[in-house]
Amino acid sequence: MGQIERTETPAGGKAESILAAAKRAFLAGGFGAVSMDAIAREAAVSKATVYAHFGSKEELFGAVIGRECEQRFAGLSAGELDPGDVRASLMELGRRFLHLVLSPDALALHRIILGEVIRFPVLGEVFWRAGPERNLQQIQAFLENAAAVGTLSLPHPRLAAEQFVGLVRGEIQLRQLLRLQPEAGLEEINAAVRAAVKTFILAFARRANASGPQSPGCTTN
Amino acid sequence: MGQIERTETPAGGKAESILAAAKRAFLAGGFGAVSMDAIAREAAVSKATVYAHFGSKEELFGAVIGRECEQRFAGLSAGELDPGDVRASLMELGRRFLHLVLSPDALALHRIILGEVIRFPVLGEVFWRAGPERNLQQIQAFLENAAAVGTLSLPHPRLAAEQFVGLVRGEIQLRQLLRLQPEAGLEEINAAVRAAVKTFILAFARRANASGPQSPGCTTN
DNA sequence: GTCTATAATTGGATAGAC
DNA sequence: GTCTATCCAATTATAGAC
Protein backbone atom coordinates (compact mmCIF):
# COMPACT_ATOMS: atom_id res chain seq x y z
CA MET A 1 0.00 0.00 0.00
CA GLY A 2 2.65 2.46 -0.97
CA GLN A 3 0.81 4.83 -3.30
CA ILE A 4 -2.38 5.76 -1.58
CA GLU A 5 -3.07 9.30 -2.62
CA ARG A 6 -5.95 10.24 -0.41
CA THR A 7 -6.18 13.99 -0.39
CA GLU A 8 -9.66 15.17 0.53
CA THR A 9 -12.02 14.52 -2.37
CA PRO A 10 -14.31 11.65 -1.53
CA ALA A 11 -13.99 9.69 -4.77
CA GLY A 12 -10.80 9.27 -6.70
CA GLY A 13 -9.24 12.68 -7.16
CA LYS A 14 -10.03 15.75 -9.16
CA ALA A 15 -10.05 14.15 -12.58
CA GLU A 16 -13.13 12.22 -11.56
CA SER A 17 -14.93 15.27 -10.22
CA ILE A 18 -14.09 17.14 -13.42
CA LEU A 19 -15.52 14.30 -15.48
CA ALA A 20 -18.61 14.16 -13.29
CA ALA A 21 -19.20 17.89 -13.53
CA ALA A 22 -18.60 17.87 -17.27
CA LYS A 23 -20.99 14.98 -17.69
CA ARG A 24 -23.76 16.80 -15.87
CA ALA A 25 -23.11 20.02 -17.76
CA PHE A 26 -22.80 18.52 -21.24
CA LEU A 27 -25.76 16.19 -20.84
CA ALA A 28 -27.88 19.10 -19.66
CA GLY A 29 -26.81 21.76 -22.14
CA GLY A 30 -24.97 20.24 -25.07
CA PHE A 31 -21.49 21.14 -26.22
CA GLY A 32 -21.76 24.74 -27.36
CA ALA A 33 -23.81 26.07 -24.48
CA VAL A 34 -21.44 24.86 -21.76
CA SER A 35 -18.31 26.82 -20.92
CA MET A 36 -15.12 25.55 -19.39
CA ASP A 37 -15.59 28.15 -16.67
CA ALA A 38 -18.90 26.57 -15.71
CA ILE A 39 -17.39 23.09 -15.62
CA ALA A 40 -14.48 24.23 -13.48
CA ARG A 41 -16.83 26.04 -11.14
CA GLU A 42 -19.10 23.03 -10.73
CA ALA A 43 -16.14 20.72 -10.19
CA ALA A 44 -14.74 23.13 -7.60
CA VAL A 45 -11.38 23.38 -9.30
CA SER A 46 -9.66 26.07 -11.29
CA LYS A 47 -9.85 26.20 -15.04
CA ALA A 48 -6.09 25.58 -15.29
CA THR A 49 -6.59 22.28 -13.49
CA VAL A 50 -9.15 21.25 -16.06
CA TYR A 51 -6.69 21.99 -18.84
CA ALA A 52 -3.97 20.07 -16.97
CA HIS A 53 -6.07 16.91 -17.27
CA PHE A 54 -7.80 17.46 -20.60
CA GLY A 55 -6.02 19.38 -23.31
CA SER A 56 -9.07 21.06 -24.80
CA LYS A 57 -12.80 21.34 -24.54
CA GLU A 58 -13.21 18.92 -27.40
CA GLU A 59 -11.02 16.33 -25.69
CA LEU A 60 -12.97 16.62 -22.46
CA PHE A 61 -16.23 16.28 -24.34
CA GLY A 62 -15.04 13.19 -26.17
CA ALA A 63 -13.86 11.61 -22.93
CA VAL A 64 -17.17 12.28 -21.23
CA ILE A 65 -19.35 10.96 -24.02
CA GLY A 66 -17.17 7.94 -24.73
CA ARG A 67 -17.13 6.93 -21.08
CA GLU A 68 -20.85 7.45 -20.81
CA CYS A 69 -21.53 5.23 -23.80
CA GLU A 70 -19.42 2.43 -22.42
CA GLN A 71 -20.81 2.57 -18.90
CA ARG A 72 -24.42 2.99 -19.81
CA PHE A 73 -24.77 0.11 -22.23
CA ALA A 74 -22.63 -2.45 -20.42
CA GLY A 75 -23.67 -5.70 -18.86
CA LEU A 76 -26.39 -7.33 -20.90
CA SER A 77 -26.25 -10.98 -21.83
CA ALA A 78 -28.76 -13.13 -23.64
CA GLY A 79 -27.84 -16.44 -22.07
CA GLU A 80 -30.46 -16.61 -19.36
CA LEU A 81 -33.41 -16.34 -21.70
CA ASP A 82 -35.50 -19.42 -22.43
CA PRO A 83 -35.88 -20.05 -26.16
CA GLY A 84 -38.88 -22.21 -25.40
CA ASP A 85 -40.90 -19.40 -23.88
CA VAL A 86 -40.78 -16.88 -26.67
CA ARG A 87 -43.34 -14.52 -25.26
CA ALA A 88 -41.69 -14.11 -21.86
CA SER A 89 -38.23 -13.79 -23.35
CA LEU A 90 -39.26 -11.15 -25.88
CA MET A 91 -41.07 -9.27 -23.14
CA GLU A 92 -37.90 -9.26 -21.10
CA LEU A 93 -35.76 -8.11 -24.04
CA GLY A 94 -38.21 -5.39 -24.94
CA ARG A 95 -38.51 -4.14 -21.39
CA ARG A 96 -34.74 -3.99 -20.99
CA PHE A 97 -34.42 -2.06 -24.20
CA LEU A 98 -37.10 0.50 -23.44
CA HIS A 99 -36.00 1.01 -19.86
CA LEU A 100 -32.52 1.69 -21.13
CA VAL A 101 -33.29 4.07 -23.96
CA LEU A 102 -36.07 5.94 -22.16
CA SER A 103 -34.07 6.78 -19.06
CA PRO A 104 -33.45 10.53 -18.79
CA ASP A 105 -29.69 10.20 -19.06
CA ALA A 106 -29.89 7.95 -22.11
CA LEU A 107 -32.26 10.41 -23.78
CA ALA A 108 -29.90 13.28 -23.02
CA LEU A 109 -26.97 11.27 -24.37
CA HIS A 110 -28.91 10.46 -27.51
CA ARG A 111 -29.74 14.12 -28.09
CA ILE A 112 -26.17 15.25 -27.55
CA ILE A 113 -24.66 12.66 -29.84
CA LEU A 114 -27.05 13.33 -32.70
CA GLY A 115 -26.60 17.06 -32.23
CA GLU A 116 -22.80 16.87 -32.32
CA VAL A 117 -22.09 13.95 -34.61
CA ILE A 118 -21.30 16.30 -37.47
CA ARG A 119 -18.62 18.05 -35.46
CA PHE A 120 -17.41 14.84 -33.75
CA PRO A 121 -17.91 12.05 -36.28
CA VAL A 122 -16.20 9.44 -34.13
CA LEU A 123 -19.00 9.68 -31.58
CA GLY A 124 -21.39 8.10 -34.04
CA GLU A 125 -19.25 4.99 -34.29
CA VAL A 126 -18.59 4.84 -30.55
CA PHE A 127 -22.26 5.16 -29.68
CA TRP A 128 -23.45 2.68 -32.28
CA ARG A 129 -21.06 -0.03 -31.23
CA ALA A 130 -21.63 0.50 -27.52
CA GLY A 131 -25.41 0.67 -27.68
CA PRO A 132 -27.60 -0.22 -30.66
CA GLU A 133 -25.23 -2.77 -32.18
CA ARG A 134 -24.77 -4.61 -28.91
CA ASN A 135 -28.51 -4.61 -28.36
CA LEU A 136 -29.16 -5.97 -31.83
CA GLN A 137 -26.66 -8.77 -31.41
CA GLN A 138 -28.22 -9.78 -28.14
CA ILE A 139 -31.69 -9.95 -29.66
CA GLN A 140 -30.42 -11.70 -32.76
CA ALA A 141 -28.71 -14.32 -30.61
CA PHE A 142 -31.97 -15.09 -28.83
CA LEU A 143 -33.92 -15.23 -32.07
CA GLU A 144 -31.44 -17.70 -33.51
CA ASN A 145 -31.80 -19.87 -30.44
CA ALA A 146 -35.56 -19.77 -30.74
CA ALA A 147 -35.37 -20.59 -34.43
CA ALA A 148 -33.09 -23.53 -33.66
CA VAL A 149 -35.51 -24.83 -31.06
CA GLY A 150 -38.34 -24.34 -33.49
CA THR A 151 -40.50 -21.85 -31.64
CA LEU A 152 -39.88 -19.13 -34.18
CA SER A 153 -39.66 -19.23 -37.95
CA LEU A 154 -37.30 -16.55 -39.21
CA PRO A 155 -35.65 -16.46 -42.59
CA HIS A 156 -33.31 -13.63 -41.59
CA PRO A 157 -32.53 -13.26 -37.86
CA ARG A 158 -30.61 -10.00 -38.12
CA LEU A 159 -33.42 -8.34 -40.04
CA ALA A 160 -35.98 -9.75 -37.60
CA ALA A 161 -33.98 -8.31 -34.70
CA GLU A 162 -34.06 -4.85 -36.30
CA GLN A 163 -37.78 -5.23 -36.86
CA PHE A 164 -38.34 -6.22 -33.26
CA VAL A 165 -36.43 -3.17 -32.06
CA GLY A 166 -38.45 -1.00 -34.38
CA LEU A 167 -41.73 -2.49 -33.17
CA VAL A 168 -40.81 -1.96 -29.53
CA ARG A 169 -39.59 1.57 -30.06
CA GLY A 170 -42.46 2.74 -32.22
CA GLU A 171 -42.67 6.49 -31.77
CA ILE A 172 -42.30 6.47 -28.00
CA GLN A 173 -38.61 7.23 -28.05
CA LEU A 174 -39.06 10.10 -30.46
CA ARG A 175 -41.79 11.63 -28.32
CA GLN A 176 -39.52 11.40 -25.30
CA LEU A 177 -36.55 12.83 -27.20
CA LEU A 178 -38.72 15.76 -28.24
CA ARG A 179 -39.92 16.19 -24.65
CA LEU A 180 -43.58 15.89 -25.58
CA GLN A 181 -44.31 13.76 -22.52
CA PRO A 182 -43.07 14.50 -19.02
CA GLU A 183 -41.68 11.09 -18.12
CA ALA A 184 -41.43 7.50 -19.30
CA GLY A 185 -44.31 5.77 -17.56
CA LEU A 186 -43.70 2.23 -16.39
CA GLU A 187 -47.16 1.08 -17.39
CA GLU A 188 -46.70 2.66 -20.79
CA ILE A 189 -43.48 0.75 -21.28
CA ASN A 190 -45.13 -2.54 -20.43
CA ALA A 191 -48.06 -1.83 -22.72
CA ALA A 192 -45.79 -0.91 -25.63
CA VAL A 193 -43.66 -4.00 -25.20
CA ARG A 194 -46.72 -6.21 -24.88
CA ALA A 195 -48.17 -4.85 -28.11
CA ALA A 196 -44.87 -5.23 -29.94
CA VAL A 197 -44.37 -8.80 -28.74
CA LYS A 198 -47.89 -9.70 -29.77
CA THR A 199 -47.35 -8.40 -33.28
CA PHE A 200 -43.95 -10.03 -33.58
CA ILE A 201 -45.33 -13.38 -32.49
CA LEU A 202 -48.26 -13.04 -34.87
CA ALA A 203 -45.79 -12.62 -37.67
CA PHE A 204 -43.06 -15.09 -36.79
CA ALA A 205 -44.29 -17.75 -34.39
CA ARG A 206 -44.73 -21.18 -35.90
CA ARG A 207 -48.36 -21.58 -36.71
CA ALA A 208 -48.53 -24.87 -38.55
CA ASN A 209 -48.79 -27.69 -35.98
CA ALA A 210 -47.83 -25.33 -33.17
CA SER A 211 -47.78 -26.81 -29.69
CA GLY A 212 -46.98 -23.78 -27.61
CA PRO A 213 -49.24 -22.03 -25.09
CA GLN A 214 -50.54 -19.61 -27.69
CA SER A 215 -54.18 -19.32 -28.59
CA PRO A 216 -55.00 -21.83 -31.30
CA GLY A 217 -56.92 -19.39 -33.49
CA CYS A 218 -55.59 -16.59 -35.62
CA THR A 219 -57.51 -13.78 -34.01
CA THR A 220 -55.66 -10.60 -33.20
CA ASN A 221 -57.14 -10.64 -29.71
CA MET B 1 -49.08 48.65 -59.03
CA GLY B 2 -48.04 51.22 -56.54
CA GLN B 3 -45.88 49.27 -54.13
CA ILE B 4 -43.60 47.22 -56.26
CA GLU B 5 -40.33 47.12 -54.37
CA ARG B 6 -38.03 45.56 -56.89
CA THR B 7 -34.52 46.45 -55.89
CA GLU B 8 -31.98 44.02 -57.29
CA THR B 9 -32.13 40.73 -55.42
CA PRO B 10 -33.48 37.98 -57.65
CA ALA B 11 -35.97 36.43 -55.24
CA GLY B 12 -38.09 38.40 -52.85
CA GLY B 13 -35.86 40.78 -50.98
CA LYS B 14 -33.15 40.43 -48.40
CA ALA B 15 -35.22 38.73 -45.74
CA GLU B 16 -35.46 35.70 -47.99
CA SER B 17 -31.75 35.58 -48.70
CA ILE B 18 -31.06 35.90 -44.98
CA LEU B 19 -33.39 33.00 -44.28
CA ALA B 20 -31.82 30.95 -47.04
CA ALA B 21 -28.30 31.62 -45.80
CA ALA B 22 -29.31 30.92 -42.22
CA LYS B 23 -30.96 27.68 -43.26
CA ARG B 24 -27.83 26.47 -45.01
CA ALA B 25 -25.61 27.50 -42.11
CA PHE B 26 -27.77 26.12 -39.30
CA LEU B 27 -28.51 22.84 -41.03
CA ALA B 28 -24.83 22.34 -41.69
CA GLY B 29 -23.40 23.41 -38.35
CA GLY B 30 -26.11 23.57 -35.72
CA PHE B 31 -26.97 26.56 -33.59
CA GLY B 32 -23.87 27.15 -31.48
CA ALA B 33 -21.27 26.74 -34.19
CA VAL B 34 -22.79 29.31 -36.54
CA SER B 35 -22.18 33.03 -36.04
CA MET B 36 -24.34 35.90 -37.15
CA ASP B 37 -21.30 37.26 -38.97
CA ALA B 38 -21.14 34.12 -41.05
CA ILE B 39 -24.84 34.29 -41.88
CA ALA B 40 -24.64 37.96 -42.84
CA ARG B 41 -21.58 37.27 -44.96
CA GLU B 42 -23.23 34.37 -46.79
CA ALA B 43 -26.40 36.39 -47.33
CA ALA B 44 -24.34 39.29 -48.70
CA VAL B 45 -25.85 41.78 -46.29
CA SER B 46 -24.56 43.54 -43.23
CA LYS B 47 -25.10 42.22 -39.76
CA ALA B 48 -27.24 45.21 -38.88
CA THR B 49 -29.63 44.25 -41.66
CA VAL B 50 -29.98 40.80 -40.19
CA TYR B 51 -30.89 42.32 -36.84
CA ALA B 52 -33.33 44.69 -38.53
CA HIS B 53 -35.35 41.67 -39.71
CA PHE B 54 -34.81 39.23 -36.86
CA GLY B 55 -34.38 40.54 -33.36
CA SER B 56 -31.92 37.95 -32.17
CA LYS B 57 -30.05 34.84 -33.14
CA GLU B 58 -32.62 32.72 -31.33
CA GLU B 59 -35.47 34.31 -33.22
CA LEU B 60 -33.77 33.76 -36.56
CA PHE B 61 -33.08 30.15 -35.64
CA GLY B 62 -36.67 29.56 -34.66
CA ALA B 63 -37.94 31.12 -37.86
CA VAL B 64 -35.64 28.98 -39.98
CA ILE B 65 -36.45 25.69 -38.27
CA GLY B 66 -40.17 26.33 -38.08
CA ARG B 67 -40.36 27.20 -41.74
CA GLU B 68 -38.28 24.20 -42.66
CA CYS B 69 -40.57 21.86 -40.74
CA GLU B 70 -43.65 23.21 -42.44
CA GLN B 71 -42.23 23.17 -45.94
CA ARG B 72 -40.54 19.80 -45.75
CA PHE B 73 -43.44 17.75 -44.49
CA ALA B 74 -46.23 19.35 -46.50
CA GLY B 75 -48.36 17.79 -49.18
CA LEU B 76 -49.09 14.19 -48.36
CA SER B 77 -52.56 12.76 -48.63
CA ALA B 78 -53.79 9.22 -48.18
CA GLY B 79 -56.82 9.41 -50.40
CA GLU B 80 -55.37 7.90 -53.54
CA LEU B 81 -54.38 4.62 -51.92
CA ASP B 82 -56.39 1.50 -52.66
CA PRO B 83 -57.57 -0.24 -49.47
CA GLY B 84 -58.08 -3.38 -51.47
CA ASP B 85 -54.44 -3.76 -52.41
CA VAL B 86 -52.84 -3.66 -49.00
CA ARG B 87 -49.38 -4.68 -50.11
CA ALA B 88 -49.02 -2.04 -52.79
CA SER B 89 -50.47 0.69 -50.60
CA LEU B 90 -48.23 -0.11 -47.65
CA MET B 91 -45.25 -0.23 -49.98
CA GLU B 92 -46.14 3.22 -51.20
CA LEU B 93 -46.61 4.59 -47.68
CA GLY B 94 -43.36 3.08 -46.49
CA ARG B 95 -41.40 4.35 -49.46
CA ARG B 96 -42.75 7.88 -49.01
CA PHE B 97 -41.82 7.81 -45.36
CA LEU B 98 -38.28 6.55 -45.83
CA HIS B 99 -37.56 8.81 -48.77
CA LEU B 100 -38.65 11.74 -46.66
CA VAL B 101 -36.79 10.99 -43.44
CA LEU B 102 -33.61 9.71 -45.10
CA SER B 103 -33.07 12.74 -47.30
CA PRO B 104 -29.93 14.65 -46.29
CA ASP B 105 -31.84 17.78 -45.35
CA ALA B 106 -34.36 15.90 -43.24
CA LEU B 107 -31.56 14.11 -41.44
CA ALA B 108 -29.83 17.40 -40.75
CA LEU B 109 -33.08 18.91 -39.51
CA HIS B 110 -33.66 15.92 -37.26
CA ARG B 111 -30.18 16.25 -35.77
CA ILE B 112 -30.54 19.96 -35.15
CA ILE B 113 -33.94 19.71 -33.51
CA LEU B 114 -32.93 16.90 -31.17
CA GLY B 115 -29.72 18.72 -30.33
CA GLU B 116 -31.46 21.98 -29.51
CA VAL B 117 -34.84 20.88 -28.17
CA ILE B 118 -33.67 21.47 -24.60
CA ARG B 119 -32.83 25.08 -25.33
CA PHE B 120 -35.82 25.60 -27.66
CA PRO B 121 -38.61 23.41 -26.31
CA VAL B 122 -41.17 24.73 -28.77
CA LEU B 123 -39.27 23.14 -31.64
CA GLY B 124 -40.20 19.71 -30.37
CA GLU B 125 -43.89 20.48 -30.65
CA VAL B 126 -43.53 22.19 -34.03
CA PHE B 127 -41.55 19.32 -35.50
CA TRP B 128 -43.80 16.62 -34.12
CA ARG B 129 -46.97 18.14 -35.46
CA ALA B 130 -45.51 18.98 -38.85
CA GLY B 131 -43.83 15.63 -39.43
CA PRO B 132 -44.33 12.45 -37.40
CA GLU B 133 -47.88 13.20 -36.28
CA ARG B 134 -49.03 14.01 -39.79
CA ASN B 135 -47.38 10.86 -41.08
CA LEU B 136 -49.03 8.73 -38.41
CA GLN B 137 -52.45 10.14 -39.16
CA GLN B 138 -52.03 9.43 -42.83
CA ILE B 139 -51.06 5.83 -42.19
CA GLN B 140 -53.79 5.38 -39.61
CA ALA B 141 -56.38 6.67 -42.07
CA PHE B 142 -55.35 4.09 -44.63
CA LEU B 143 -55.32 1.29 -42.06
CA GLU B 144 -58.83 2.20 -40.99
CA ASN B 145 -59.98 2.11 -44.59
CA ALA B 146 -58.39 -1.29 -45.06
CA ALA B 147 -59.97 -2.55 -41.85
CA ALA B 148 -63.35 -1.29 -43.02
CA VAL B 149 -62.97 -3.07 -46.34
CA GLY B 150 -61.87 -6.18 -44.52
CA THR B 151 -58.39 -6.68 -45.90
CA LEU B 152 -56.74 -5.98 -42.55
CA SER B 153 -57.72 -7.01 -39.06
CA LEU B 154 -56.57 -4.38 -36.56
CA PRO B 155 -57.90 -3.93 -33.06
CA HIS B 156 -56.11 -0.58 -32.62
CA PRO B 157 -55.34 1.39 -35.80
CA ARG B 158 -53.29 4.11 -34.14
CA LEU B 159 -51.06 1.58 -32.44
CA ALA B 160 -50.75 -0.38 -35.66
CA ALA B 161 -49.70 2.78 -37.48
CA GLU B 162 -46.94 3.37 -34.96
CA GLN B 163 -45.85 -0.22 -35.32
CA PHE B 164 -45.76 0.07 -39.09
CA VAL B 165 -43.59 3.17 -38.85
CA GLY B 166 -41.30 1.38 -36.42
CA LEU B 167 -41.03 -1.63 -38.71
CA VAL B 168 -40.18 0.49 -41.71
CA ARG B 169 -37.68 2.61 -39.87
CA GLY B 170 -35.90 -0.21 -38.09
CA GLU B 171 -32.40 1.01 -37.39
CA ILE B 172 -31.78 2.51 -40.81
CA GLN B 173 -32.65 6.03 -39.78
CA LEU B 174 -30.41 5.86 -36.73
CA ARG B 175 -27.50 4.62 -38.80
CA GLN B 176 -28.00 7.49 -41.21
CA LEU B 177 -28.35 10.02 -38.40
CA LEU B 178 -25.06 8.76 -36.96
CA ARG B 179 -23.44 8.95 -40.41
CA LEU B 180 -22.41 5.32 -40.38
CA GLN B 181 -23.37 4.91 -44.03
CA PRO B 182 -22.50 7.35 -46.78
CA GLU B 183 -25.90 7.71 -48.38
CA ALA B 184 -29.43 6.36 -48.38
CA GLY B 185 -29.41 3.77 -51.13
CA LEU B 186 -32.57 3.47 -53.19
CA GLU B 187 -32.38 -0.30 -53.33
CA GLU B 188 -31.85 -0.41 -49.59
CA ILE B 189 -34.99 1.65 -49.07
CA ASN B 190 -37.04 -0.68 -51.21
CA ALA B 191 -35.68 -3.75 -49.47
CA ALA B 192 -36.39 -2.34 -46.02
CA VAL B 193 -39.93 -1.37 -46.96
CA ARG B 194 -40.56 -4.73 -48.57
CA ALA B 195 -39.43 -6.58 -45.46
CA ALA B 196 -41.50 -4.35 -43.19
CA VAL B 197 -44.63 -4.75 -45.31
CA LYS B 198 -44.18 -8.51 -45.38
CA THR B 199 -43.98 -8.68 -41.59
CA PHE B 200 -46.89 -6.33 -41.13
CA ILE B 201 -49.08 -8.35 -43.45
CA LEU B 202 -48.07 -11.58 -41.75
CA ALA B 203 -49.28 -10.11 -38.49
CA PHE B 204 -52.42 -8.25 -39.53
CA ALA B 205 -53.78 -9.50 -42.84
CA ARG B 206 -56.95 -11.53 -42.56
CA ARG B 207 -56.01 -15.15 -42.61
CA ALA B 208 -59.22 -17.00 -41.76
CA ASN B 209 -61.24 -17.38 -45.00
CA ALA B 210 -59.08 -14.83 -46.78
CA SER B 211 -59.82 -14.18 -50.41
CA GLY B 212 -57.03 -11.75 -51.33
CA PRO B 213 -54.12 -12.39 -53.68
CA GLN B 214 -51.86 -13.46 -50.82
CA SER B 215 -50.20 -16.82 -50.59
CA PRO B 216 -52.59 -19.31 -48.99
CA GLY B 217 -50.03 -20.87 -46.66
CA CYS B 218 -48.44 -19.45 -43.54
CA THR B 219 -44.83 -19.72 -44.62
CA THR B 220 -42.58 -16.76 -44.06
CA ASN B 221 -41.41 -16.99 -47.65
C1' DG C 1 -33.83 49.65 -44.49
C1' DT C 2 -29.07 49.44 -45.07
C1' DC C 3 -24.41 50.25 -44.18
C1' DT C 4 -19.72 50.98 -41.39
C1' DA C 5 -17.73 50.95 -37.17
C1' DT C 6 -17.68 49.76 -32.53
C1' DA C 7 -19.21 48.70 -27.91
C1' DA C 8 -19.46 45.11 -24.33
C1' DT C 9 -19.24 40.61 -22.99
C1' DT C 10 -17.86 36.04 -23.04
C1' DG C 11 -15.07 32.03 -23.71
C1' DG C 12 -11.03 29.05 -24.72
C1' DA C 13 -6.52 28.74 -23.44
C1' DT C 14 -2.05 30.02 -20.94
C1' DA C 15 1.87 32.19 -17.80
C1' DG C 16 4.01 31.92 -13.72
C1' DA C 17 4.09 31.21 -8.69
C1' DC C 18 3.81 27.47 -5.35
C1' DG D 1 -0.77 19.25 -9.98
C1' DT D 2 -3.02 23.28 -8.55
C1' DC D 3 -4.08 28.03 -8.17
C1' DT D 4 -4.67 33.28 -9.49
C1' DA D 5 -4.64 36.38 -12.89
C1' DT D 6 -4.56 37.42 -17.53
C1' DC D 7 -4.30 37.33 -22.76
C1' DC D 8 -6.44 37.13 -27.10
C1' DA D 9 -9.89 36.02 -30.28
C1' DA D 10 -14.61 35.67 -31.41
C1' DT D 11 -19.41 36.86 -30.80
C1' DT D 12 -23.79 39.18 -29.95
C1' DA D 13 -25.80 43.31 -30.40
C1' DT D 14 -26.07 48.36 -31.24
C1' DA D 15 -25.11 53.51 -32.54
C1' DG D 16 -25.25 56.71 -35.93
C1' DA D 17 -24.80 58.22 -40.78
C1' DC D 18 -27.32 57.92 -45.18
Identify the pLDDT of residue B212: 39
Identify the pLDDT of residue A213: 43
Q: How many domains does one find in chain A?
A: 2
d(CA A48, C1' C12) / Å: 11
Are residues B19 and B101 located together in one domain of the fold? no
In a domain, A209, yes or no: no
The CATH number covering residue B56 comes to 1.10.10.60
Paired with A152 in beta bridges are A205
Q: Which residues of chain A have pLDDT under 50?
A: 1-9, 209-221
- Residues found in chain A: 221
In a domain, A218, yes or no: no
Q: Which long-range contacts (CB under 8 A, 24 or more apart) does A141-147 make?
A: A141/A78, A142/A78, A142/A81, A142/A83, A142/A89, A142/A90, A142/A93, A145/A78, A145/A81, A145/A83, A146/A83, A146/A86, A146/A89
Are residues A194 and A103 located together in one domain of the fold? yes
Q: Which of B199, B198, B216 is nearest to B208 (CA)?
A: B216
> Closest nt to A59 (CA→C1')?
C12
Task: Please tell me the distance from the alpha carbon of residue B155 to that of residue A2, in angstroms, as a whole number.
Answer: 69
Are residues B199 and B157 located together in one domain of the fold? yes
Per residue in B165-203, pLDDT tens? 999 999 999 999 999 998 888 999 999 999 999 999 999
Are residues A144 and A63 located together in one domain of the fold? no
Interchain proximity B117–A124, CB inside 8 Å: no
> Closest nt to A52 (CA→C1')?
D1
Are residues A180 and A133 located together in one domain of the fold? yes
Residue of A nearest to B210 (CA): A218
Are residues A32 and A118 located together in one domain of the fold? no
At B210, is the pLDDT very low, low, confident or very high (cuts 50, 70, 90)?
Answer: very low
8-state DSSP, B183: S
Per residue in B24-73, pLDDT tens? 999 999 999 999 999 999 999 999 999 999 999 999 999 999 999 999 88
Which nucleotides in chain D have some atom under 7 angstroms from a protein Cβ? Answer: 1-6, 10-16
In a domain, A198, yes or no: yes
Size of interface A-B (CB pairs under 8 A): 149
At B78, is the pLDDT very low, low, confident or very high (cuts 50, 70, 90)?
Answer: low
CB contacts, 8 Å: B175 with chain A: 128
Are residues B169 and B94 located together in one domain of the fold? yes
Are residues A103 and A189 located together in one domain of the fold? yes
Which residue range forms the structural domain that includes residue B35?
A: 13-70
Residue of B119, B128, B171 lying closest to A136 (CB–CB) = B171
Residue B4 has pLDDT above 90, yes or no: no
In a domain, A163, yes or no: yes
Strand D contacting residues by CB (7 Å): A 13-15, 44-49, 52-53; B 34-37, 47-48, 51, 55-58
CB contacts, 8 Å: A156 with chain B: 195
d(CA B172, C1' D12) / Å: 39
Interchain proximity B199–A163, CB inside 8 Å: yes
In a domain, B220, yes or no: no
The CATH number covering residue A116 comes to 1.10.357.10
Strand C contacting residues by CB (7 Å): A 34-37, 47-48, 51, 55-58; B 7, 13-15, 44-49, 52-53
Residue B138: HSE in the Cβ half-sphere, 13 Å Cα cutoff: 24
Paired with B152 in beta bridges are B205
